[in-house]
Amino acid sequence: MKTYSDLEFLKLSKGEKFKYKFLSFFAGIPKALLNLLLALWNLIKGAGVTIGKEIADICSTFIHGDWKTKLSFIFMGFGCLARGQILRGILFLLFEVVFIGYMVLAGGYWLGMLPSLGVQGPTKEYNEILDVEVTTFHDNSFKILLYGVLTLFFIVAFIYTWRQNVKQNQLAEKILASGKKLRSGKDDLRSLVDDQFHKTLLALPLTGILLFTVMPIVFMILVAFTNYDGTHNGYTNNLFTWVGMDNFNTMLSWTAGKGGNTQSYSATFGEVLVWTLIWAFFATFTNYFLGMFVAMAINKKGIKLKKVWRTILVLTIAIPQFISLLYVSKMFAKNGIVNGFLMSMGWIQEALPFWEDPTWARVTVVLINIWIGIPYLMLIATGILMNIPADLYESARIDGANPWQQYTKITLPYMLFVTGPYLLTSFTGNMNNFNVIYLLTGGAPTNPAASSAAGSVGYTDLLITWLFKITTGAESQYYLASVVGILVFVVVALISLVVYNVLPSIKNEEDFQ
Amino acid sequence: MSQQNAIAPTGPVKKHMGLKASRALGNTAIYLLLIVVSAIWLIPFICILLQSFRVESTWQVGYVIPQQWGLDNYKGLFETDFPRWYMNTFIAALCTAVLQTIIVLCMSYTLSRFRFKMRNGLMRFMLILGMFPGMLTMIILYRVLKDLGMTQANALPGLILVYVASSGMGYYVSKGFFDTIPKSLDEAARVDGATRFQILKKIILPLSKPIVIYTVLTAFMGPWGDFVFARYIAFGSSAGSNVAVGLYNWLSKDQINTRYTMFCAGGVLVAVPVTILFMCLQKYYVEGVTGGAVKG
């Protein structure tokens, strides 16, 4: 497509401008993807180069180092101890002892079992004395996978520490050669509240993230390549094992799935994905524009009781969402207040199928989401609108711009410019908006064609609620949940990357300053 | 635009009057709109309040104003597990408020003030981590916590752990706040020989009251609204549930006819203290939210 320079762009008519922007957005997508691939390649290349450099550095440290340094390659912290840095030396040595001890006592077993995830499942034997069948449990696939992953983490940590140990020696030699003094243990401790203070501060948060986010995510990614589910829980009934790409094939191929369902997983996945995207689009933009509208209405000059209006709306944020969502969901039920009211007024004869009809249900969740979301957007918009310099409007009015022109030429561009990243995060947040969908409809009405072994999928189910249903369903197909989770990640990551790469171009065009 | 410029010189006085009239009209329209909007936003809460006092029936009905008023529903709550759920949620909220605030502030302060080697990589890494659906981690966390005996009836410590552990990833808003505190303050203190820790304690923290309150408030409100984690960890145990899970079950098909009005009463009891707290600290919340959106 043709690209225009700034001057040419300004000459275009309104329709052409919009068309140009619209087309250039989509024309930018392949380029953004290409950039992504290039960035990935560079990342891999960079990692390779770094590792090469590190190895070269380690070798040269060994060759040029003195005997203390050389011994440190085997006994971590020896160099530190020999040079008087007792605290560091002890810590290094302790780490090595713990590591070796762990690997000998337990780590070796977990690592060794990792490729098979256990060989011996539970066995049943007849016990003559007690006259009952006794089940003996043997291998535990879940623990093998979990501790296997932890052991791998530990090994990486050990390699890193070992590398630090080597580096320390190299540094210490340099410092001593230049005639300076080494840091003592006291200095080290003091630096933890001073120039190394960031390490102290980050220790707790990062440990939490590592144990409760990183490790589970790695584990769940691995589960996507196993057959871990309710009937293969890895200990009390059957072991689970690696199945390669089978689960992805099931999810993404067009053959009908198991369980006698009439629709393949891929078709179900496609339907849910499309609805997730539609939902995220409407949920984000209806809230955005209506919230901005309400904020502008409250902010308008001459409107009194500004605080009262705002407080009424903010009240909805304060009340825990599950109460309002559950209650509103029941208000729209067949025998709920809304239908009761409409019928008593004689406006309708039969109850409206708010939650029974697919289209009704989808529209209703979007509408209720507006009710939930507007107060929040109103707050954000109020803050930003107050920051727009008043003289911009002043001069626009002197030039004869009407309110609509002021809105499209000043307010909207400013808002979009400032909240661009927020729009993106709120879009991806809405894609994963579990509470609104699950508490309102629980995914209902059920889609009979898609109700399969993988939980019963409904017309308002998002990928995230489907995932929840899979894990809590009768068969607990954790492996399928993992696959869905990974695909959610891929979709969210792709959208984020594309939008981030395209966003600046839109921003610059609309930057009115 | 050119047309309007052409019209403008014809009658400045007339236009002025027209403006005034149209502004009055516009304001009336806006007042109407705001009244309608306020009504829509308040009606559900008024309904829930009214229905919590209904004693003639316990199921869903098509009218709002009770025919018979009474406190039966509130009294009834104390014969169920509701007090237990309430305490669970309250304790979880208190602990989360304290621990999460410490963790979030450590994280955001560090990322705002220090420039260290892994900083950008770390932030990018957490951004990517955030794209994974958090629910996925619950499958394993549930089983691990179960092995540690922190699920079902003993769900409370497990729940707090889950709320708090990964909270460092939500550092964006408070980092935005710390970014606005001028760095020259730090530098001046450094020149005077203060350690980093002293800077944090004596200079930054006293200036950070708004963001501390914001973080405490959001951390405290989180557990009141959480459904999914609590549902996973309590897993069918009534004693380990929080209010969201417990009240959700009351609306299930086999319980709704006996529990609906009690659900309303429970909802009111949950909403009132949280709302009062929120309203008192509203100012800080608004500051945090508006600041957070602008800085991304």
- Best-predicted range by mean pLDDT among A500-509, B20-29, B223-232? B223-232
Scan for tokens 């509103």, then name that residue: A328
Q: What is the pLDDT of residues B134-164, one digit of tens each?
A: 888 888 888 888 888 887 788 888 899 999 9
B22 torsion bin: left (phi>0), alpha (psi -120 to 50), beta (else): alpha
User: Can you give the pLDDT at residue B293?
Assistant: 62
Cross-chain residue pair B274–A314, CB shorter than 8 Å: no
Interface of A with B in 420-439 (CB under 8 A): 421-422, 425, 428, 432, 434-435, 438-439
Statement: residue B107 has pLDDT above 70: yes
Q: Mutate which of B98, B122, B136 to test chain A, going by most A C-beta atoms within 10 A? A: B136
In which band, very low, low, confident or very high, does the pLDDT at A472 lie, cut at 50, 70 and 90? confident
Q: What is the pLDDT of residues A232-253, one digit of tens each?
A: 887 888 888 888 888 888 777 7
Chain B neighbors of A195, CB-CB under 8 A? 196
Contacts of B131 (CB under 8 A, 6+ apart): A428, A489, A492, A493, A496
Strand-pairing partners, residue A229, are A232
Scan for tokens 């070269």, then name that residue: A56
User: Can you give the pLDDT at residue A510?
Assistant: 44
User: Can you give the pLDDT at residue A282?
Assistant: 93
CATH number listed for the domain at residues A265-510: 1.10.3720.10
User: Can you give the pLDDT at residue B18?
Assistant: 63
Interface of A with B in 197-256 (CB under 8 A): 197-198, 201-202, 204-206, 208-209, 211-214, 216-217, 219-220, 223
Contacts of A365 (CB under 8 A, 6+ apart): A279, A436, A437, A440, A441, A460
Range with lowest mean pLDDT among A84-88, B22-26, B113-117: B22-26
Range with lowest mean pLDDT among A107-116, A151-160, A268-277, A344-353: A344-353
Range with lowest mean pLDDT among A35-44, A302-311, B266-275: A302-311
Chain A neighbors of B248, CB-CB under 8 A? 322, 326, 439
Q: Which two tokens stand for residue B233?
A: 């960890």
Statement: residue B294 has pLDDT above 80: no
CA distance A391 to chain B (A): 19
Chain B neighbors of A405, CB-CB under 8 A? 1
Which burial class, exposed, middle or buried, applies to A236 when counting CB atoms under 10 A from its CB (0-12, 13-18, 19+)?
exposed
Q: Which of B175, B179, B284 is nearest to B221 (CA)?
A: B284
B57-70: average pLDDT: 81
In which band, very low, low, confident or very high, does the pLDDT at A449 lie, cut at 50, 70 and 90? low
User: Can you give the pLDDT at residue A254?
Assistant: 66
3-state helix/strand/coil string of A389-432: CHHHHHHHHHCCCCHHHHHHHHHHHHHHHHHHHHHHHHHHHHHC
Cross-chain residue pair A217–B132, CB shorter than 8 Å: yes
- Helix B172-180 vs helix B82-113: crossing angle, to nearest 10: 40
Average pLDDT, chain A: 83
Range with lowest mean pLDDT among A7-11, A411-415, B115-119: A7-11
User: Can you give the pLDDT at residue A511?
Assistant: 47
Cross-chain residue pair A439–B64, CB shorter than 8 Å: no
Cross-chain residue pair B47–A383, CB shorter than 8 Å: no
Statement: residue B1 has pLDDT above 60: no
A425-446: average pLDDT: 86
- Best-predicted range by mean pLDDT among A44-53, A389-398, B233-242? A44-53
User: Can you give the pLDDT at residue A513?
Assistant: 38
Cross-chain residue pair B114–A432, CB shorter than 8 Å: no
Strand-pairing partners, residue A446, are A458
Q: What is the pLDDT of residues A189-215, one digit of tens each?
A: 888 777 788 888 888 999 999 989 999
Residues A203 and A200: their CA atoms lie apart, in Å, by 5
User: Can you give the pLDDT at residue A283?
Assistant: 92
Closest to B296 (Cβ–Cβ): which among A206, A223, A421?
A: A421
The structural domains of chain A, with segments of one domain joined by +, span: 6-51, 65-244, 265-510
Q: What is the pLDDT of residues A147-169, one digit of tens each?
A: 998 999 999 999 999 998 888 88
Scan for tokens 């022109």, then name that residue: A405
Which burial class, exposed, middle or buried, applies to A413 when counting CB atoms under 10 A from its CB (0-12, 13-18, 19+)?
middle
Cross-chain residue pair A336–B164, CB shorter than 8 Å: no
User: Can you give the pLDDT at residue B9?
Assistant: 44
CA distance A225 to chain B (A): 15
Q: What is the pLDDT of residues B82-106, one digit of tens each?
A: 999 999 999 999 999 999 999 999 9
CA distance B172 to chain A (A): 12
Per cent of chain B over pLDDT 70 is: 92
Closest to B27 (Cβ–Cβ): which among A201, A303, A333?
A: A303
Which burial class, exposed, middle or buried, applies to B28 when counting CB atoms under 10 A from its CB (0-12, 13-18, 19+)?
exposed
Chain B residue whose CA is closest to A217: B137
Cross-chain residue pair A335–B60, CB shorter than 8 Å: yes
A449-477: average pLDDT: 78
Statement: residue A21 has pLDDT above 90: no
DSSP A343-358: HHTTS-SS---TTTSH
User: Can you give the pLDDT at residue A451?
Assistant: 56
Cross-chain residue pair A303–B23, CB shorter than 8 Å: no
- Best-predicted range by mean pLDDT among A262-271, A303-312, A453-462? A303-312
Residues A11 and A7: their CA atoms lie apart, in Å, by 7
Cross-chain residue pair B247–A322, CB shorter than 8 Å: yes
CA distance B281 to chain A (A): 11
Q: Mutate which of B139, B204, B285 to test chain A, going by most A C-beta atoms within 10 A? A: B139
Domains along the sequence of chain B with CATH: 2-72 (no CATH), 81-295 (1.10.3720.10)
User: Can you give the pLDDT at residue B93?
Assistant: 93
Rg (CA), chain B: 26
Closest to B110 (Cβ–Cβ): which among A146, A202, A319?
A: A202
Q: What is the pLDDT of residues A291-335, one digit of tens each?
A: 888 888 888 877 788 888 888 888 888 888 888 888 888 888 888
Q: What is the pLDDT of residues A88-136, one digit of tens each?
A: 888 999 999 999 999 999 888 888 888 888 787 778 878 777 778 788 8
Closest to A312 (Cβ–Cβ): which among B38, B109, B165?
A: B38
**More confident of the two residues B265 and A18:** B265
Residues B296 and B293: their CA atoms lie apart, in Å, by 5
Chain A residue whose CA is closest to B280: A318
CA distance A322 to chain B (A): 6
- Is the ipTM higher than 0.90? The answer is no
Residues A53 and B76: their CA atoms lie apart, in Å, by 71
In which band, very low, low, confident or very high, does the pLDDT at B179 lie, cut at 50, 70 and 90? confident
Statement: residue B184 has pLDDT above 90: no
Element spanning A124, H or E: strand A123-127
Statement: residue A507 has pLDDT above 70: no
Chain A neighbors of B140, CB-CB under 8 A? 146, 216, 219-220, 223
Residues A462 and A161: their CA atoms lie apart, in Å, by 44
Residue A116 CB coordination number (10 Å)? 13
Average pLDDT, chain B: 83
Residues A391 and B205: their CA atoms lie apart, in Å, by 37
Statement: residue A483 has pLDDT above 50: yes
Q: Mutate which of A40, A167, A213, A232 to test chain B, going by most B C-beta atoms within 10 A? A: A213
Per cent of chain A over pLDDT 70 is: 93
